[in-house]
Amino acid sequence: MRRFIVAVLALAVLAGGGFGLWRFQQQLQQGATAAAGPGGPPGGFAVPVLAEPVAVERIAEEIVAIGTLRSNESVMLRPEVAGRVAEIGFAEGSVVTAGTVLVQLDDSIPRAELAQAEAELELAQANARRAQDLYARGAGSAVARDQAVATLRTTTAAVELGRARLEKYRLVAPFDGMVGLRRVSPGAFVNVGADIVNLESIDPIKLDFRVPEVFLSRVSVGQRLAVTVDAFPDRTFPGEVVAIDPAIDPVGRSIAVRASLPNRDGFLRPGLFARVRLTLREEPQAIMVPEAAIVPFGGRMLVMKVVDGKAQPQPVTLGLRREGRVQVTEGLAPGDVVVTAGQMKLRPGAAVAVLPPEAAPPANGAPRG
């Protein structure tokens, strides 16, 4: 009795499955007939498929990397002589121009030494003129003239030395930039090489990052990139590659690349962590199709085109891939319509009926309820 019940249940399941399959085929046939119009599909029964026109859009091949922002120019101002800070000529965090005196050390002693050297220079000049006149009239010796000229040269050098030494007591900005936080106060005594204040030029600003060595032949100066930083997550900052290190890192097998980014508003600051998208090449008019439209066949890639309501196999050459879509570099033209579902049921020249997207069966093949 138990075997009989099991057999009856098995027959019921098979019958239900056959009825469901028959209903699904009837729905597909009705959809194909509706898509073909009231006259019915040309040439008899048309195979129902999903199809869509190829898309023409801009795509780019990119490298994703991480990097660090750096000042275009950066320097820590340090005195070359020891002395007492007489004056601070800047406000912390302010913008200064090249040549601005940022720190003045007490220069009273070198200034007095320079005045003494200038006075000795005036005397040496007068003695040299007098000795030259006497020698010209025959009243003076050549030795006296030569000694006066040598003394003049010595005092002239002493004056130049005094002026150069006096300049060491002034710290000036070597370029336009933004000063940081000072480490000293007026009246403080600083030694040679002591940190005074940092000066940063941040417009434009540099970006250093690395890419794998396999891209060595494809990275070049002038390539564009887009940068995002955590401080401004909703903004993208453009830039371009300006230099490539000729040496490859033997440890990480990577290439050091430097880019430059405009920074007129000053949002970007040195030291920020940056995410980089480097554009290797760009295709402004790329022909794109869904990956589902590609059919591997005998070592080649094919798509099924819909031409005058019939299937036509077309070999294609593929390029870049982007989020379920693939570029076709050869084989298709704008306006072509390709089959995206149902290719395996088609033969060359078979009549097709393009179903609307909502008529497509679920991925598991079960009929829609």
Helix (H) or strand (E) holding 177: strand 177-179
Show the CA angle centred on residue 94, arms to residues 270 and 108, nearest 5°: 115
Distance separating alpha carbons of residues 348 and 264, to the nearest angstrom: 61
Residue 131 inside a domain? The answer is: yes
Residue 207 lies in a domain: yes
User: Is 261 contained in some domain?
Assistant: yes
What pLDDT digit, counting tens, does each position of 153-199 carry? 999 999 999 999 999 999 999 999 999 999 999 999 999 999 999 99
> Over the stretch 44-59, which tens digit does the pLDDT of each residue have?
578 898 989 998 988 8
What single letter denotes the amino acid at residue 361? Answer: P
Q: What is the pLDDT of residue 121?
A: 93
Residues 176 and 164 in one domain: no
| Average pLDDT of the chain, as a whole number | 85
Instruction: Assess whether pLDDT exceeds 60 at residue 29.
Output: no
Give me the mean pLDDT over the 298-308 stretch. Answer: 88
pTM over 0.85: no
Domain range for 160: 107-168
Both 235 and 138 in a single domain?
Answer: no
Q: Are residues 267 and 207 in the same domain?
A: yes
- Both 241 and 159 in one domain: the answer is no
pLDDT of residue 25: 47
Please say if the pLDDT value at position 243 is more than 50: yes
H/E stretch holding 170? strand 170-172
State the DSSP H helix or E strand holding residue 226, giving kind and residue range, or none if neither: strand 224-229
